A and B are shown apart, each in its own frame.
Chain A
Amino acid sequence: MNDIQQLIRKHRFFAGLQESDLELAAGCAANVHFPAGQHLFHEGESADHFYLLRSGRVALEMAVPGRQPVVIETLQAGDVIGWSWLFPPYLWQMDARALLAVRATAFDGKCLREKCASNHDLGYELAMRFAAILTHRLQATRLQLLDVYGSHH
Chain B
Amino acid sequence: MDPTIESPARPQPATEPMLPDPWRVERVHAETADTFSLELTPVGGPRPLAFSPGQFNMLYVFGVGEVPISISGNPEIESPLVHTTRIVGTVTRAMGKLKAGDLLGVRGPYGSGWPVDAAKGRDVVIVAGGLGLAPLRPLIHHLLAHRADYREIALLYGTRTPQDRIFRADLRRWTARRDLQAQVTVDRAVSGWTGHVGVVTKLVAHAPFDPSNTVAFVCGPEVMMRFTLQELQRRGVPPERSHLSLERNMKCAIGFCGHCQYGSMFVCKDGPVFRYDRVRSLMKVREL
Contacts and interface: CB of A to CB of B under 8 A. Distances in A.
A144 B187 contact: yes
Interface string A117-153: 0000000000000000000000110011011111101
Given A57-B194, A148-B220, A140 B160 contact: no
A99 B194 contact: yes
Nearest to A67: B191
Nearest to A77: B206
Given A76-B206, A146-B223, A57 B129 contact: no
Contact of A143 (B160, B205, B223): B223
A74 B201 contact: no
B86 A148 contact: no
Contacts of B129: 148-149
B196 A74 contact: yes
Contact of B158 (A59, A76, A77, A149): A149
Given A68-B191, A77-B206, A143-B224, A149 B197 contact: no
Contacts of A27: none
B159 to A, nearest CB: 6
B206 A149 contact: no
Interface in A57-83: 57, 59, 68, 70-74, 76-78
Contacts of B158: 149
Nearest to B130: A149
B191 A72 contact: no
B31 interface: no
A59 B191 CA distance: 12
A100 B194 contact: yes
B152 interface: no
Contact of A144 (B86, B199, B206): B199
B221 A78 contact: no
A100 B196 CA distance: 11
Interface in B114-136: 129-131
A74 B197 contact: yes
A78 B227 contact: no
Contacts of A147: 160, 187
Contacts of A77: 206
Interface string A68-107: 1011111011100000000000000000000110000000
Interface string B157-194: 01110001000000000000000000001010101011
B192 to A, nearest CB: 9
Given A73-B197, A74-B198, A78-B205, A139 B221 contact: no
B221 A76 contact: no
Interface in B246-273: none
A129 to B, nearest CB: 14
A139 B227 contact: yes
B223 A153 contact: yes
A144 B164 CA distance: 15
A93 to B, nearest CB: 17
A144 B198 contact: yes
Interface in B43-92: 86, 88
Contacts of B10: none
Contacts of B223: 143, 146, 148, 153
Contacts of A73: 197-198, 202
Contacts of A76: 196, 206
A100 B185 CA distance: 15
B34 interface: yes
Contacts of A78: 205-206
Given A70-B189, A100-B194, A153-B223, 8 more contacts: A74-B196, A78-B206, A143-B201, A143-B227, A148-B129, A148-B130, A149-B129, A151-B88
19 contacts: A57-B196, A59-B197, A73-B202, A74-B185, A74-B196, A76-B196, A77-B206, A78-B205, A140-B202, A143-B223, A144-B198, A147-B160, A148-B221, A148-B223, A148-B224, A149-B159, A149-B221, A151-B34, A153-B223
